[in-house]
Amino acid sequence: MPRPTTIHVCSSCGHEENRWHGRCPGCGEWNSLVEEGRLGVGARGGAGGGVAAVTPIALADVNAPGAPRLSTGIGELDRVLGGGIVPGSVVLLGGAPGIGKSTLTNMALGNLAQAGHRTLYVSGEESTAQVRLRAERLPSGALAVPAIAETDLEAVIATLERERPAVCVIDSVQTLDARELSSAPGSVGQVREVAARIVGVAKRHSIAVFLVGHVTKEGALAGPRVLEHLVDCVLQFEGERERTYRTVRAIKNRFGSTNEAGVFEMRQAGLVEVLDASARFVGSATRAPGSVVLAAMEGTRPLLVEVQALVTPSELVPPRRVVNGLDRNRLALVLAVLARHGGVPLAGSDVFVNVVGGVRVDEPGADLAVALALASASRGVALGPPGAPTPIAAFGELGLTGELRWVAHPERRIAEARRFGLDPVLAPRGTEATEVATLRAALETAFASPPRVARAAAA
Q: Is residue 49 part of a domain?
A: no
What total number of domains does the chain contain?
3
pLDDT tens-digit series, residues 233-274: 999 998 776 677 888 989 899 998 887 888 898 888 889 998
Report the CATH number at residue 291: 3.30.230.10
Say whether both 170 and 251 belong to one domain: yes
Residue 91 Cα distances to 85, 97, 125, 229, 355, angstroms: 9, 18, 19, 11, 29
User: With bands split at pLDDT 50, 70 and 90, how would you rate the model's confidence at 19?
Assistant: confident
Say whether both 82 and 97 belong to one domain: yes
Helix or strand (DSSP H, E) at 249? strand 245-253
Say whether both 106 and 196 belong to one domain: yes
Q: Write the burial class of residue 404 (CB in 10 Å: 0-12 exposed, 13-18 middle, 19+ buried).
A: buried
Say whether both 221 and 284 belong to one domain: no
Say whether both 240 and 375 belong to one domain: no
Give pLDDT, residue 451.
Answer: 41
Say whether both 284 and 310 belong to one domain: yes
Q: Is residue 457 part of a domain?
A: no
DSSP structure string for 182-227: -SPTTSHHHHHHHHHHHHHHHHHHT-EEEEEE-B-TTSSBSS-THH
Range of the domain at 4: 1-38
pLDDT tens-digit series, residues 282-330: 888 888 999 999 999 987 789 999 999 999 999 888 999 999 989 999 9
Q: Is residue 61 part of a domain?
A: no
Give pLDDT, residue 28.
Answer: 86
Per the prediction, the chain carries an average pLDDT of 87
Q: Is residue 267 part of a domain?
A: yes
Give pLDDT, residue 416.
Answer: 94
Q: Is residue 66 part of a domain?
A: no
Q: Is residue 315 part of a domain?
A: yes
As a whole number of angstroms, the longest Cα–Cα distance in the chain is 85
Say whether both 90 and 220 belong to one domain: yes
Residues 155-169 have a mean pLDDT of 96
Q: Is residue 148 part of a domain?
A: yes
Say whether both 23 and 165 belong to one domain: no
Q: Is residue 63 part of a domain?
A: no
Residues 6+ apart with CB under 8 A from 366: 294, 296, 307, 326, 330, 395
Residues 46-67 have a mean pLDDT of 76
Give pLDDT, residue 1.
Answer: 45
Say whether both 291 and 430 belong to one domain: yes
Q: Is the pLDDT of residue 42 over 80?
A: no
Give pLDDT, residue 333.
Answer: 96
Q: Is the pLDDT of residue 43 over 50?
A: no
Say whether both 197 and 292 belong to one domain: no
Strands 90-95, 208-213: pairing kind: parallel
Domain end call among 210, 240, 275: 275
Say whether both 114 and 226 belong to one domain: yes
Say whether both 213 and 156 belong to one domain: yes
**First-last CA distance in the chain:** 80
Report the CATH number at residue 227: 3.40.50.300
Q: Is the pLDDT of residue 74 over 60?
A: yes
Q: Is the pLDDT of residue 16 over 90?
A: no
Give the total residue count for the chain.
459
Give pLDDT, residue 38.
Answer: 62
Q: Give the single-character DSSP code of 228.
A: H
Q: Residues 390, 419: contact at Cβ < 8 Å?
A: no
Residues 38-62 have a mean pLDDT of 67
Question: Buried b / exposed e across 354-390, counting CB within 10 Å, b at 16+?
Answer: bbbbbbbbebbbbbbbbbbbbbbbbbebbbbeeeeeb
Give pLDDT, residue 177.
Answer: 93
